[in-house]
Structure 1
């Protein structure tokens, strides 16, 4: 178990912790209508989105660099099985992906930086993690980011945490990890010797067997004194 003292670095999950996204199905439907004049309907858009997400989750580790990511995205578009040319489906898919940072993300990262604490994102994501952090304005507030597709290791495996610790320049006992998934984030951090903080944005946090939970990233700052 990691030490309970003030950390020198905090590792953070991306999706569900720092970033979220708008529901893609309505945007996919609108994009296809604008490009083809054909409305696939709400059910059609939802089905296409589910198929794309399932394919992506099974293959995200293949998006190791920009070229490989482009190929993966085209295969994701094909997996939607839409009655349009692949280029149209691809363009509509890309238009439907709209990520944004939670309102508390940037202020929390600034607060941690002001206190001299290094921050590194650790995420089960493809190479586009860096794009998302840049476009949402968070990249400039971080000391680095590690995507599972880049390092060939996904949480809860320890190798991805080790890669993040190297970027942060600290030992496991000097770091915390904040994430929203008990298995990937909490269990993975514990196995790596890092103190886990579970963020539960939609429910009231509770203390379970010594596990600290928070509702927002703003609650990290007060924790530093504990």
Structure 2
């Protein structure tokens, strides 16, 4: 297989939030008198992300009105807290969510991001980003000192579709002039990244940093971006 382009998801693949979302949730919960351990919140996010991606496939979040978005994030928060061991009402979940999003946070690259991107560029590969984030990626990449490694970005706002809809992947292929068989897509979400890429005929690679996906057997699974060298060698 002659790979020419490696697509990446952005959030939770190349970058993470700082402070971590678990810390933010813990702080928000504490303002309502709850002491929730960050390890349990990590488990909660695992289940919350499943809900997030399934709902986003059913009805893209970016296309919902403010009322529907509020309902969505209330349920998202409730699921996170429930699986972290805290069973709260919808109203309380909504209030905790509103408190959490007030807490400042920023994107920072994972420790293995730059090393991986440098390696891929040294192999003559082009690098693209396919993300559901709705913001100017060029400014963000420059701020994070990643712009020198990324050849192009596709975000859901400009395309009008969100992963796992195959049309966002197909748009990237057409825009960059490559075939699906010439590409890999690396992401941390099984539903939006792996299933979305497969629907578009692109070979997916699941980045499973916390080893949540023990049962996945329909794609390559890596636990660090440093493992991309081995993935390419095995193609």
**Shared fold, TM over 0.5:** yes
How far apart in 1 are the matches of 2:213 and 2:6? Answer: 19
Q: What secondary structure does 1:190 align onto?
A: helix
Q: Number of residues paired by the alignment?
A: 186
Aligned to 1:42: 30
CA contact (8 A) 2:60 2:162 kept: no
Normalising by structure 1, we get a TM-score of 0.67
| Residue in structure 2 matching 1:137, options 116, 137, 145 | 145
Structure index of larger Rg: 1
Aligned to 1:171: 179
State the 1:130 CA deviation. Answer: 3.6
| Residue in structure 1 matching 2:192, options 184, 194, 197 | 184
| Residue in structure 2 matching 1:196, options 187, 194, 204 | 204
Q: What secondary structure does 1:109 align onto?
A: helix
Q: What secondary structure does 2:161 align onto?
A: coil
How far apart in 1 are the matches of 2:135 and 2:11? Answer: 14
| Residue in structure 2 matching 1:211, options 208, 213, 219 | 219
Structure 1 residues 61 and 199 mapped into 2: Cα distance closer, same or farther (>3 Å)? same
Q: Deviations over 1:155-174 (max 9, x none)?
A: 11111101222344310011
List alignment gaps of at least 5 residues for structure 1. Answer: 31-39, 47-53, 63-75, 83-88
CA contact (8 A) 1:60 1:149 kept: no
Aligned to 1:15: 11
Structure 1 residues 59 and 225 mapped into 2: Cα distance closer, same or farther (>3 Å)? closer
Q: What secondary structure does 2:205 align onto?
A: strand
Q: What secondary structure does 2:217 align onto?
A: coil
Structure 1 residues 205 and 116 mapped into 2: Cα distance closer, same or farther (>3 Å)? farther
How far apart in 1 are the matches of 2:24 and 2:188? Answer: 26
CA contact (8 A) 1:60 1:125 kept: no
Q: Deviations over 1:142-199 (max 9, x none)?
A: 0111111221110111111012223443100110111111111111111100001000
Q: CA RMSD in A?
A: 3.7
